[in-house]
Amino acid sequence: MKPLSEIAVGETVTVKKIKVAGELKRRIMDMGITVGTEVFVRKLAPLGDPMELTVRAYELSIRKADAANIFVE
């Protein structure tokens, strides 16, 4: 398993674990990122933060600090 923040642009991965608790975990899950969800990394901002993802047929931007808590395969 690798953190989502380390996935290259153009890769599709599956969420295996969210390693954070409380309000941040609830916010991540409310965005549609749950265990078993496929995530496609569309692009990175010019300085590398945030990441643009495709999750459940919509586009989502997420900070790399938050993506580091989402582990994928």
**In this predicted model, what pLDDT tens digit does every residue of 10-64 receive, in sequence order?**
999 999 999 988 899 999 999 999 999 999 999 998 887 899 999 998 999 999 9
* pLDDT value of residue 61: 93
* pLDDT value of residue 18: 92
Reported as type and span, the H/E element at residue 34 is: none
6, 70 Cβ separation under 8 angstroms: no
Name every residue whose Cβ is closer than 8 Å to that of residue 29 and which is 6 or more positions away in sequence.
18
pTM: 0.87
Q: What is the distance between the alpha carbons of residues 20 and 50, in angstroms, rounded to a whole number?
A: 19
Q: What is the distance between the alpha carbons of residues 41 and 48, in angstroms, rounded to a whole number?
A: 12
Domain 2-72 has CATH 3.40.109.10: no
